[in-house]
Amino acid sequence: MIGCGKIGKRHAAFMSTFGKLLAVCDVDKNRADALANQFDVPAFYAIEDLLHNIKNATVAAVCTPNGLHAQHSIQLLNAGLHVICEKPMALTVEDCNKMIAVAEENNKYLFCVKQNRFNPPVAAVKKLMDEGVLGKIYSIQLNCFWNRNDDYYLNSWHGTKALDGGTLYTQFSHFIDLLYWMFGDVKHVEALIKNCKHQNAIEFEDTGVAILEFEMGIIGTINYTVNSFEQNMEGSLTIFGENGTLKIGGQYLNEIAYQCIKNYAIENLPEGNAPNNYGNYQGSMSNHDKVYENVVNVLMNNANTTVSTVEALKTVEIIQRIYSAANNTYV
């Protein structure tokens, strides 16, 4: 397990549940030691030392800052390990392509974490769309209204262009993944971004608006911010179709807010997992158990991966295109 921060702790727990956690690694000695002591495994402070000393590992989880995902994944794949990479896959399409090529060269799996696909309302809506229940999709609206105060970015890689990349990468890449997964590729993008509140804390935007035209003809909008006062308020996706309108709502796409569907109703959804809770802020629904279940099934039972590397790359591509469009019209 590489990277012993907040999300790394969650991965360590699931690694020890679905397999055997052999070691942890972080350049921050205190963090590595604390997690190693918790799980009674060795701690290492450089990947090279980890690889030199741990010879019987099968899988490595990369939970380091966004800007290091490509470098660390490639290093581990070249060492003969399957890799579970946290979101986003990388910060550029170029790096994603390199990761995919190295995985193929080494005949290893590269698993990309996209846990929002497992949210019960999201899975239910995807199923009815695949079955054609909504008919032709006309338009969609994605709203992401979260809170991240200055303390979140203090003394952290969060907020830096090189290691964080931008609000869409760290806070909302799971939401962008759903757009590609549900509605396909994007043909045209227009966008505006602005740093309204965090001028002294981050090197990029805290607020943005994007208009997307999908290859299927669907028009979509994205409204996002981390300036929601004191708490997360909404993570929602509204779909307007030929035979129905519905909204997946809540703070993190965790409930059906409303629905009006021809001869159909989404009912009796299982209760989803709680959000990732990091003390003074929350993230998306915690579905990492589903991620690790899939890893085990792929490696032990030749199952299919739930997220392809091309899909993970497409998320990065769409985010890059939004930022590129915004930088051409930045105000």
Chain-centre distance of CA 94, in angstroms? 18
Q: Tell me the mean pLDDT in the region 77-100.
A: 98
The yes-or-no verdict on residue 283 having pLDDT over 90 is no
In a domain, 267, yes or no: yes
Tens of pLDDT, residues 32-53: 999 999 999 999 999 999 999 9
The token pair at 323 is 């930022």
Residues 314, 206 share a domain = yes
In a domain, 57, yes or no: yes
Q: Tell me the mean pLDDT in the region 14-37.
A: 97
The yes-or-no verdict on residue 135 having pLDDT over 60 is yes
Tens of pLDDT, residues 255-264: 999 999 999 9
Residues 202, 190 share a domain = yes
The yes-or-no verdict on residue 312 having pLDDT over 80 is yes
pTM for this model (two decimals): 0.94
Q: What is the DSSP string of 259-275?
A: EEETTB----PPP-PPE
Which of 81, 115, 149 is where one domain is finished?
115
Q: Please give the share of the chain, as a percent, with pLDDT higher than 70.
A: 95
* Cis, bond preceding 275 (omega within 30 deg of 0): no
CA gyration radius, the chain = 20
Q: Please give the share of the chain, as a percent, with pLDDT higher than 90.
A: 92
Q: Strand ranges (DSSP E) for 163-291?
A: 186-194, 207-214, 219-225, 234-241, 244-249, 255-261, 275-277, 282-285
Q: Tell me the mean pLDDT in the region 149-160.
A: 94
In a domain, 299, yes or no: no
- Position 328 scores a pLDDT of 77
Residues 144, 243 share a domain = yes
- Residue from 52, 49, 54, 72 nearest 62 by CA: 72
CB-based contact 216:239 (threshold 8 Å)? no
Q: How confident is the model at residue 330 (pLDDT cuts 50, 70, 90)?
A: very low
Range of weakest confidence among 80-84, 266-270, 322-326: 266-270
- Position 270 scores a pLDDT of 85
The yes-or-no verdict on residue 251 having pLDDT over 80 is yes
In a domain, 297, yes or no: no
CB-based contact 112:312 (threshold 8 Å)? yes
- Position 274 scores a pLDDT of 56
Kind of pairing, strands 234-241 and 137-145?
antiparallel
Range of weakest confidence among 140-144, 266-270, 314-318: 266-270
Q: Tell me the mean pLDDT in the region 299-307.
A: 95
Q: Tell me the mean pLDDT in the region 94-114.
A: 98
Q: Which domain, by its residues, includes 97?
A: 6-115
Question: Is 81 buried (19+), middle (13-18) or exposed (0-12) by CB count in 10 A?
Answer: buried
The yes-or-no verdict on residue 148 having pLDDT over 90 is yes
CATH number for the domain that contains residue 230: 3.30.360.10
Q: How far apart are CA 289 and CA 115, in angstroms?
A: 9
Residues 309, 227 share a domain = yes
Domains: count for the chain? 2
Residues 263, 244 share a domain = yes
Q: Tell me the mean pLDDT in the region 264-279.
A: 72
Residues 133, 214 share a domain = yes
- Position 6 scores a pLDDT of 92
- Position 280 scores a pLDDT of 55
- Position 331 scores a pLDDT of 39
Half-sphere exposure of 91 (CA within 13 A, CB side): 16
- Residue from 106, 105, 65, 56 nearest 85 by CA: 65
- Position 275 scores a pLDDT of 53
